[in-house]
Amino acid sequence: MEIGSLDATMATAHTRKLDQLGDEIAELSAHLDAATARLLDLIREFDASGGWNNGFRNCAEWLSWRVGLDPGAARERVRVARALGTLPLLSHALARGEISYSKVRALTRVATPETQERLLAVARAGTAAHVERIVRGWRCVDRIEETRETARQHAGRGLHVYHDDDGMVVVRGRLEPEVGALLMQALSAAREALYQRQRRESAAQLLDPSSETPSMAQQQADALSLIAETARHQELDPGAPGERYQVVLHVDAPVLADADQPGDCVLDEGVRVSAETARRLACDASRVLMRHDPDGRVVDVGARTRTISPALRRALAHRDHGCRFPGCGGRFVQGHHIQRWAQGGPTTLSNLASLCRRHHRAVHEEGFSVIRRPDGDLQFFRPDGRLLPEAPAATAVPTDPVHSLRAQHEAGGLHLDADTARPGWLGERLDVVYAIDVLHPLARVPGLCSAELS
């Protein structure tokens, strides 16, 4: 055999081997995308059922702890999983391995049940890069329309206050969404304050118990009156920052040590809180000791002191570097007394642990517990007593996971090959402006020119 013929044969065999490797990569990628679709279905069901709500703040935080995902990647998985719950065409295409997770992740940023069919056609015809460019153009149109809508809302704001024929004052208005949300929050807080005031007065027998409960509209009117009175009293000045954000809790000393002891735990506004909430707040707060005579009059007020000194707080922050609850690590933390301060636990570094507000509540009001082992490590326990490990044990995988994955899909009637996810693109140039004009339902709105998409 001639040397030239031998070289050609070897080159052909090498090319054929590379083609086989390429086909295997493409086929396995399709299997992984199909498996990802199942994973997203499980995440969506787990999220909706609140399976993560055993000390974790959300499903993404649980995924980061349980599966080892980066927090950003975990949040993205949850976002895509939720979006696919309303996008059955995209979900089915991913489950069939016809489009990649990268394409689905991009499309779920803009797709709606009404637009998913045309966007799926884009995903099948183009590459992932094409899909990203289409999505960027699509979002540009959305932002332009959103900006216009925001401008229309701002221009349409207004508040009309006038006297009616009978002397009553009529209030009518249209507020921007964020201003309206602020007003509704203020009204809700004012209604609650009035409700608590009414309860106290009723308990003191100042009100007729048989009097009718005001309607919601009447409660809203009373709440608005309270907001106006408060603003006038404060001369529209929210006060010094230290007072503005200060919450004062009055607690009878015996209650801190034993919840069964008689006594009160009352906020300045008169709202009662549980003894366990009082203990949580006492873990890391300023405290002022006040002594009362038998008639309830204050006879002595001590100096304000901190439960945790500034120097000890610096040492605690240096040691813990954030919330110590498994899977959290939040930077905004409070000091928690492992042996409760209210029950005589010392305020020492060895008896303190940094916990964020969410997890500080978990170990007080929600039944979680924490101990420090002799070696200094912390151990957290669920309300049912089970250990919550710092990092869960690795899940066992088959000896040949690729074969197992293929067999699982074959058993489910899913037959994937190297061409399953191949796009229909033939190499032609992508005209994003033309594509958006054709695809986006708002692209032909008068006044939207192609230059805005460029």
Contact 30, 97 (CB under 8 A): yes
132 and 7, same domain (yes or no): yes
pLDDT of 435 reads 84
More confident residue, 84 or 423: 84
> Per residue in 183-229, pLDDT tens?
888 888 888 888 877 776 665 554 455 556 788 888 888 888 888 87
More confident residue, 109 or 280: 109
299 and 334, same domain (yes or no): yes
Residue 265 has pLDDT above 60, yes or no: yes
Domain boundary among 189, 221, 244: 244
pLDDT of 104 reads 95
pLDDT of 262 reads 64
> Per residue in 138-152, pLDDT tens?
888 877 776 776 777
82 and 215, same domain (yes or no): no
- Among 50-54, 84-88, 234-238, 279-283, the minimum mean pLDDT is found in 234-238
58 and 105, same domain (yes or no): yes
**Other Cβ atoms within 10 Å of 374 Cβ, number:** 5
185 and 134, same domain (yes or no): no
> Per residue in 30-56, pLDDT tens?
889 999 999 999 999 999 999 998 888
Report yes or no on 411 lying in a domain.
Answer: no
43 and 122, same domain (yes or no): yes
pLDDT of 244 reads 45
More confident residue, 182 or 384: 384
pLDDT of 183 reads 86
Report yes or no on 104 lying in a domain.
Answer: yes
Report yes or no on 212 lying in a domain.
Answer: yes
SS3 178: helix
pLDDT of 241 reads 46
Report yes or no on 396 lying in a domain.
Answer: no
Report yes or no on 399 lying in a domain.
Answer: no
Burial classification of residue 29, based on how many CB atoms lie within 10 Å of its CB (0-12 exposed, 13-18 middle, 19 or more buried) = middle
219 and 253, same domain (yes or no): no
Number of domains in the chain: 3
Gap between the Cα atoms of 256 and 243, Å rounded: 25
Residue 159 has pLDDT above 80, yes or no: yes
SS3 161: strand
218 and 272, same domain (yes or no): no
Report yes or no on 260 lying in a domain.
Answer: yes
Residue 336 has pLDDT above 70, yes or no: yes
Q: Give one DSSP letter per residue of 287-316, joined into a string.
A: E--EEE-TTS-EEEE---EESS-HHHHHHH
> Per residue in 363-374, pLDDT tens?
888 889 999 998
> Per residue in 97-120, pLDDT tens?
999 999 999 999 999 999 999 999
Mean pLDDT (the chain, rounded) = 81
**Other Cβ atoms within 10 Å of 357 Cβ, number:** 13
Read off the pTM: 0.63
223 and 283, same domain (yes or no): no
357 and 428, same domain (yes or no): no
> Per residue in 227-251, pLDDT tens?
887 776 666 555 544 444 456 777 7
Nearest partner of 356 among 333, 337, 377, judged by Cα: 333
348 and 444, same domain (yes or no): no
pLDDT of 73 reads 92
Contact 177, 154 (CB under 8 A): no
- Reported confidence tier of residue 80, pLDDT bands at 50, 70, 90: very high
Q: Give one DSSP letter per residue of 301-356, joined into a string.
A: E---EESS-HHHHHHHHHHH-S--STT---SSEEEEESS-GGGT---SGGGEEEEE
pLDDT of 452 reads 47
More confident residue, 46 or 9: 46
Report yes or no on 402 lying in a domain.
Answer: no
The boundaries of the domain holding residue 206 are 162-244
The average pLDDT across 293-298 equals 66
pLDDT of 451 reads 43
268 and 332, same domain (yes or no): yes
Report yes or no on 265 lying in a domain.
Answer: yes
Extract the tokens encoding 424.
Answer: 């229909």
- Reported confidence tier of residue 450, pLDDT bands at 50, 70, 90: very low
The average pLDDT across 304-333 equals 85
Extract the tokens encoding 15.
Answer: 């090319």
pLDDT of 16 reads 85
Contact 399, 13 (CB under 8 A): no
Whole-angstrom CA distances from 261 to 146, 195, 252, 264, 363 are: 58, 27, 9, 10, 21
pLDDT of 454 reads 47
